[in-house]
Structure 1
Amino acid sequence: MSNDLPWRPRVLPSAVLRHDRARGADVLLLPERVVVLHGSGRAVLDLCDGSRTVDEIAGLLSDGADAPHVRHELSSFLHRLRTEGCLR
């Protein structure tokens, strides 16, 4: 796969998204670690199935007027999770 193609983020196959009643929050469960999701984190990761680019996900999540801000925040969030080994 070429590095110049738009990134299509995908949650790792070994990860599980679920709601944790004890924490009262959605979580991303990975081997030996739990990532607690806040705000729209779950909605974002539900869209990270490898079929959509970051721009496409941002378009689905924004109302149009706020698209540049949503794109910036989304990109930052996804790259942080990628760096931590949660996304491909």
Structure 2
Amino acid sequence: MSGIERLGLRVSSMINHPVAQIQRWVTIHRLDTDGDREWEEVIGVIADTDELELTLNDDGSVTVRWEQQELETAGKGVPEFDLEEEAAPF
């Protein structure tokens, strides 16, 4: 596994963590094993993602924030129920 894959997997895991999903933010710390090129590339991908907001912290970490996304269920195969009662067939 390459360094970029390892870092991408770690960042993805942090963002998808249940606590991060509830609070809608996570702080990512750069490890000694994260190379300059890998760090810049992963942070660049995050920065280019419209739904994410980055804050560069004084200690070199990056805080990623996002807004709660509304679920769009119309037309997504979710069954719609007719709430009108039908006459009993007997």
Report the TM range for the smaller structure's normalisation.
0.3 to 0.5
- Give TM-score scaled by structure 2 length: 0.32
* Structure of greater relative contact order (alpha carbons < 8 Å, 6+ residues apart): 1
- Give TM-score scaled by structure 1 length: 0.32
The structure number with the bigger radius of gyration is 2
